[in-house]
Amino acid sequence: MQENSNQNPNLRTFLALSLISGLGSKRIKFLAKAFDEPSTIFNLSKTELRSVETIGEASALSILSFGKWEEVDQIIKNTEKVKARIITIADPEYPGLLKQIYDPPALFWLKGDPEALSKPGVGVIGTRNATNYGKKMAEKFSSEIGNQGLCIFSGLAHGIDAFAHKAALDVGAPTVAVLGSGIDNLYPRENADLANRIVREGGAVITEFPLGTIPDAGNFPVRNRIVSGMSLGVLVVESGMQGGSMITADLALDQNREVFAIPHSLENLSGSGCNYLIKTGAAKLVQTIDDILDELPLETGKKNSSEKQIIPNPKLWKEEELDELSQKVCEYLEKGEAQIDSIGDDLEVNTSQLLVSLLQLEMKDLVIQKAGKIFSLK
């Protein structure tokens, strides 16, 4: 049973749930929706817990046996020490658009103004190794988007991300940076001044990763769903055929967000991904700011599954160089199609990480996604 505390009871509840291995953000989302007072979750019976969608026997028992309340309170104290705060999915400051995605973070750490998170805006993304043309386009369109009173969402990385944040700030527009590390472990450190400026000038820096988390490469594709999830649409400024920006574009389509791309010279390999998105109909070609603004007021959800099948020739997954998780997923799907929750449970993988892996496999034309988040090998 949860101990009494002067702290926000919902905060303690969601922190505790986040510490339970295998529970995952999707199940926590269903728990949050099921009860008007989330602070009562740890006082419920197994039967009451199992009445919640996605909560099975193992999950219910994990909740009932939780006892790390001292660790929960220490996290809260450490968060206060670094002058950050925690926003949970039950809090009014949690952005509504983000809450609608398949696997929203159960909570995240924040520095800055939480109101910036819910401002209508555009995700501006691209390569870390930007060309002069990419830099020019990032600054031009971010400034123009900002001048329309829209927020710029990005990832604080070198290159396009940093140019986009700076351009927004220079025109007095709000901007939000989403980290792939702990809020106390800013990465890249060279952008610390930029992060401080974002916070100081009415924006926000956020992360779902706990205090002390290092900037592991696997964190960045996972955090990209938050960049696209808070945005009305995503603008890919400059990207090669592989990398985080292409993953983010696919995540945006999966979330029914608009996707836009800047065209590039055929000689510019670092812009080939943008041309590819345009060519396949996955993104709208952007020449002026109106190409973006004309789409944003419209209802989202126009992209259909055929637009995501952007590689025409089938491949065998065993012939590809895949990471360990992708190999496990393909081996699992050899048994037949499966729903994402079943895959995650059987492989004991976090839903957010699994979704990124599946989308990467889909981009490689190795996996097909069907309605209801059902996946199969192609």
Please report, for the chain, the start and end positions of each structural domain, with discontinuous segments joined by +.
1-80, 112-307, 311-377
| Cβ within 8 Å of residue 26, ≥6 positions away | 54, 102, 103, 341, 351
Give the CATH fold of the 112-307 domain.
Answer: Rossmann fold (3.40.50)
**DSSP assignments along 65-105, one per residue:** T---HHHHHHHHHHHHHTT-EEEETTSTTS-HHHHTSSS--
pLDDT attached to residue 315: 53
Amino acid in position 150: L
pLDDT attached to residue 297: 54
Query: What DSSP state is assigned to residue 85?
Result: E
Q: pLDDT, tens digit, for every residue of 248-273?
A: 999 999 999 999 999 999 988 889 99
pLDDT-flagged residues of the chain (< 50): 1-6, 298-314
Q: What is the CATH number assigned to the segment(s) 1-80?
A: 1.10.150
pLDDT attached to residue 7: 55
Assign 234 to helix, strand or coil.
Answer: strand
Please identify, in words, the CATH class of the domain defined by 311-377: mainly alpha
pLDDT attached to residue 33: 87
pLDDT attached to residue 26: 86
